[in-house]
Amino acid sequence: MMLAVKDLTVSRGHIRVLNGLTFSVSAGEIVAVLGANGAGKSTLVGTLAGLYPPSAGEIIFQNQTLTGRSPEAVVHAGISLVPEHRQLFGGLSVRDNLILGAYHRYRAAKKELPQLLEDVYRLFPALREKQHKPAQTLSGGLQQMLAIGRGLMAAPRLLLLDEPSVGLAPLVVREIMTTLSELRAKGQTIILVEQNARAALRIADRAWVLERGRIALSDTAEKLREDARIQSAYLGRRP
């Protein structure tokens, strides 16, 4: 088991956002996290990334405790977050944004940088063509690809993605989801927070549905695609 979370409770301000979540993630799978706005999806991946300290519970990643550790420590442990709204450095080039993704390991892995960059460019060939352009000049789809590429530059064992399809055209969403499937085929473990349930369930192995900070449903993606509750709430079908 790569990740084990037990009784995770997180408050932001005076509001309890996560209420005793318990789950596990195996190596090499994509787990989709679905739910309405305010259900706690972004708080969940933010907590796993060290951005929000839990008030209770335990996070075990590859047999080490990460509960309450700093974001820097979490990245060093092998977890990388691709945040919602990308948070790129708009004035810096595509290449420099990517290199910043490997900042925590730069001195130790300086010789690895060319290969890390090449791996990202192979996944997203358009980034190679635009590598010297400022990030702010890219289309929304290319910016999202850059954000994912930057996350991969940390060579993570677990990649967390927060709403990667927001605001993107359907063809771009399909391209990004295809790339995530390719990463999973290479052994990358992914937790995917998505409003686009149809796209997420198409590529995920398993999925959870969060409601008010709790896991209301959990099953294989295939079974959830056929679940009447999911079809009605997220897929636009009537049971």
Task: Note the pLDDT of residue 72.
Answer: 93
**pLDDT (average), residues 207-218:** 94
Structure-model confidence comparison of residues 23 and 102, the more confident one: 23
Task: Note the pLDDT of residue 235.
Answer: 66
pLDDT band at 237 (very low <50, low <70, confident <90, very high): low
pLDDT band at 110 (very low <50, low <70, confident <90, very high): low
Query: Is the predicted pLDDT of residue 75 greater than 90, yes or no?
Result: yes
Task: Note the pLDDT of residue 7.
Answer: 97
Task: Note the pLDDT of residue 239.
Answer: 43
3-state secondary structure the chain: CCEEEEEEEEEECCEEEEEEEEEEECCCCEEEEECCCCCCHHHHHHHHCCCCCCCEEEEEECCEECCCCCHHHHHHHCEEEECCCCCCCCCCEHHHHHHHHCHHHCCCCHHHHHHHHHHHHHHCHHHHHCCCCEHHHCCHHHHHHHHHHHHHCCCCCEEEEECCCCCCCHHHHHHHHHHHHHHHHCCCEEEEECCCHHHHHHHCCEEEEEECCEEEEEEEHHHHHHCHHHHHHHCCCCC
Q: Please state the domain extents for the chain.
A: 1-78+156-239, 87-155
**pLDDT (average), residues 73-82:** 95
Query: Is the predicted pLDDT of residue 163 greater than 80, yes or no?
Result: yes
Query: Is the predicted pLDDT of residue 208 greater than 70, yes or no?
Result: yes
**pLDDT (average), residues 103-110:** 63
Superfamily of domain 1-78+156-239: P-loop containing nucleotide triphosphate hydrolases (3.40.50.300)
Share the mean pLDDT of the chain. Answer: 93
pLDDT band at 187 (very low <50, low <70, confident <90, very high): very high
**pLDDT (average), residues 177-198:** 96
On whether the pTM is more than 0.85, the answer is: yes
Task: Note the pLDDT of residue 142.
Answer: 97
Query: Is the predicted pLDDT of residue 157 greater than 60, yes or no?
Result: yes
pLDDT digits (tens, 9 = 90+) for 18-68: 999 999 999 999 999 999 889 999 999 999 999 999 999 999 999 999 998
**pLDDT (average), residues 219-229:** 90
